[in-house]
Structure 1
Amino acid sequence: MNDHLIGGPALPQERRLVTAIPGPESARLHARKAAAVAAGVGTTLPVYTVAAGGGVIVDADGNSLIDLGSGIAVTTVGNSAPAVVDAVTEQLQAFTHTCFMVTPYDGYVRVAEKLNELTPGSHEKRTALFNSGAEAVENAVKIARAFTKRQAVVVFDHAYHGRTNLTMAMTAKNMPYKHGFGPFASEIYRAPLSYAFRDGGLSGEAAAFRAIDLIEKQVGAGNLAAVVIEPIQGEGGFIVPADGFLPLLVQWCHDNGVVFVADEVQTGFARTGELFACDHEAVVPDLIVTAKGIAGGLPLSAVTGRAEIMDAVNVGGLGGTYGGNPLACAAALAVIETIATEDLVGRARMIGKTMVERLHGFADPRIGDVRGRGAMVAVELVEPGTTNPDPDLTRAVAAAAHAQGVVVLTCGTYGNVLRFLPPLSMPDHLLFEAFDVLEQVFREN
């Protein structure tokens, strides 16, 4: 890999600690946050950003932190990537909003055309644009119900699909996402996932048959509108289903007239070393949901799918005031172009190879599993010699990494997974340094 910077403002690509993390100015700002922002809005690391680009985040105290989070897989092409800045600036000077449902514009159509072209499958497709991943997931369910005239929806253990009422019902983890917010939407059913680290050697095919058996017995194919799954789970712990699980599930859905929905909100747009995670097993979903990395940090999401399914909704049944905002559409087109011209799919593979090699090199018995694809990698931390989760160690490692100027995220149903999502604009020397820091953190905790 080459030491180069793909996009981003001309910030020094260095880890620089001027103060303790967080520093006094961030602490002052955080006190203002506590007085002004609802307590339910948490923060992972209370440093207040003033600039970001390449592989760094610069805070209000002048600290420069290495970013292994990408705003939860959003700034995949880098923060303020030049092509994105230029495209948004040009659009900003033309117009900021008309509402596509009132007076439409070319940018929305161009994004839809690109998504129809790039998403898995050569069939005729249609796209609808929205604002957030949760909003798109919810609309995918609406579309599947309209097409099938059925109501039931199957999701999976450890799933995360969003924070709206329907998507909270679809999300598995109670704290902090669901606690105290019920009652939730009905007709949501949960099936077991393929989880190699905790499945006792169960093959992907066997895990799929286990899930299908439960679905047939507890839901019934004739009642089922959609199966919704993350091809690689995000918040659930970067769980990669064993080979064969997804293709068999897709085949069962097709055999039974069930819409197969791939939630690629976190995995889409080069993150996993393919343009979409479904591409790793040549899985072709009926509907695919995208967001996060689609627009370089601007709010945009999409549902793309088979024309006959997407067109089953009555005119006016899909939309929203801000859906497909022209600024976000301009950003998305620039992101898609940047992924192609900079070969960010290949870059994701190289970053992933480096991260996996380094993590295995730690040789720490508390690392129970290293998993993921491309630049979407995680470690599951356990008590040595067991599969017992160790969330305390996970919190300690994350806190120590933060104190040393490396932004890492935690996840997982058991709170024992560290996840790594560096921007694909990160230069090699920063990636190596980040994992040098992490290796030292593991030795000291």
Structure 2
Amino acid sequence: MSKLGVGIAAKRVCGRGFHNSVRLASRQPLVLNGIEYATDNYTNVPASIASRVHPHPQLPYLENQPLALLRGEIERVLGARYMPIRAPSPVVSTRLNFDELGFPEDHPGRQPSDTYFVNKNTCLRTHTSAHQIGAFRSGNLRWLLTADVFRRDEIDSSHYPVFHQMEGASVWNHEELVPGGSVEQECVAMEQKLANVPMEIQDQVSVEDAGGWQPKHEANNRQGAELSMRHLKATLNTLVYELFQPRWALESQSDEPLKVRWIPAFFPFTSPSFEVEVWFRGKWLEILGSGVVQQSILDQSGLADKMGWAFGLGLERIAMVLFSIPDIRLFWSQDKRFLGQFAKQSGRSLPLMTFKPYSKHPPCYKDVSFWLPPNFHENDLFETVRDCAGDLVEDVECIDSFVHLKTQKASRCYRVNYRSMDRNLENEQINTLHNAVLDRLRREFSLEIR
């Protein structure tokens, strides 16, 4: 993690139910990219996160950065028909992030325990779909948008509060969604190529299981909706094959085809909706979510006469698998021993290589035990540890819990694993960090440390 460095940052505040035991945020403004934002009792953006807020996403565009290589490969596979879009600032309205996309009022993502709120009406985007309507409104009908997204989450080797997604979409006029039209011609061309490659596609999901047809589609253009879904599946099957087949062929050492399956899913902004998984290294891996765009999204975008699909995928998730990167923190490393391994190889857009660990420094474990206050959410603990220790924390795990027989008070014990990716840590340094964590927990959440 880069050095923490923002001038003015709001004090942390947890989920709404925790305010009685938390010192509320000061009303001084929160400064992000030189812009001041008013704060309130929703504000929960710590300095460590504020320092990562930039006008545009950074990592997917850096030379020899694995996320940049993966982004470039996806754009190459899907081709010139799709306009690459570099996302704007991650500071968005809750209307864009939730309301316009159909998130219900009681959705967990709306809680400060899950989302970074600048204030009640403004947050850091939690997904690329926050820009879906904006991308359509700007006149782009087929596009790929890359963005950094922010979520409060657990701490381990595969979760990080800032990560990157790519969203793709394609919509057409109803007149194009007819038998023999341009959309069906694209479908036929992709399907013919897929029929001649070593790939097994498991797709037994009924439309009803995947959310069913939207009423407007059912009434007005069922045929167009079916063709949109056909195009979606051919496009994503092609993408998954191009990304995973070279690695599968190298590692499997057999004649077995690459296996891909479609399973039903639910997303507020698509219906029917699907997740795509690939059989890789002995298990099914979730790759992306997708579906036919909700007509309400297109109506709000000024595209009521159109229909199509959208998908979203996590760049880190796929890059960690393809390159065997063991820890998500590594993507933020500036160490040449990391970035130097991803120099482009001649003849391939995406290097077919396996990351070679260059160091493995010993862990340093510290425990924190406390009585649970009302409405405790462990993401508040994770955020405090991460804000104090940055990328020196590898994971945090609950190792014990019990209820006192007489008082009925509940207690938990969490084990914090401090480990640097680049150097050995001194015990004295970690003691100082851990004491800072304990002080923050006492001061801001009134936790009774045991």
Q: Give TM-score scaled by structure 2 length.
A: 0.28
Structure number with higher relative contact order (C-alpha < 8 Å, ≥ 6 residues apart)? 1
Q: Which has the larger radius of gyration?
A: 2
Which protein has the bigger strand share? 2
Q: Give TM-score scaled by structure 1 length.
A: 0.28
